[in-house]
Amino acid sequence: MIGHGYYWRKPKGLERCWVIRVKRWKCKSCGKTVGAVPSFLLFFRHYLLEIIQSVVVGRFELEYSWAATFLGCADEGGTPVVRTMQRWCAGLTEHAAEWLGAMEKTMAEQDSRSEWLDAQGEAGRMRNPAQALLRGSLHLLAWAKGRWREVERFVLNDRLRFLWYWGNQRLGLSRLV
């Protein structure tokens, strides 16, 4: 990898308007470029990861209406329009089954005694793959915290960031949200 310049990101949802310089790297062998995006942002998304997570958790786990989801975002300082929140939720719905399958495969290979894998347990009560993925991510995070030093400090509010880190970096899964 060699340095390949940088680009500017202006994340939405911060108290002040900040512009962040993101370093770009280029692979010598394949010619592809990648940006070193900070952990509080996602690739291809302008809002903070914290705001995106509050939307998808509110919508899928807490089963909030769009109005309640919008109000929850306003409380956190970021107020995306409802159409943006709907795109995030549609993206998660579209990719959740693929990510859920990979997560369950990892759990079966690495931690076969996990409560999540019990067919009569929590996983069987989930209404849709997106809800199951978000809930199952807690079990995956609990397993990973004891094995990967880089995720030791992740907490409940970091689970979307953890999912992205686990799936994208380790398995090359497509975009999550």
Indicate if the pLDDT at residue 77 is higher than 60.
no
Maximum mean pLDDT: which of 45-54, 68-77, 164-173: 45-54
Q: pLDDT category, 36, cuts 50, 70, 90?
A: confident
Residue 23 to residue 6: CA distance in whole angstroms: 4
Query: What pLDDT shows up at residue 17?
Result: 64
Q: What is the pLDDT of residues 154-176, one digit of tens each?
A: 888 888 888 887 887 667 676 77
HEC readout, 47-80: ECHHHHHHHHHHHHHCCCCHHHHHHHHHHHCCCC
| pLDDT over 70, % of the chain | 84
What local confidence, expressed as pLDDT, does residue 169 receive? 66
CB half-sphere exposure, 147, CA atoms < 13 A: 9
What is the Cα–Cα distance from 111 to 105, expressed in whole angstroms? 10
Question: pLDDT tens-digit profile of 55-68?
Answer: 899 999 888 999 88
In which residue are the tokens 């308007």 written? 17
- If you average pLDDT over every residue of the chain, what do you get? 82
pTM score, whole prediction: 0.75
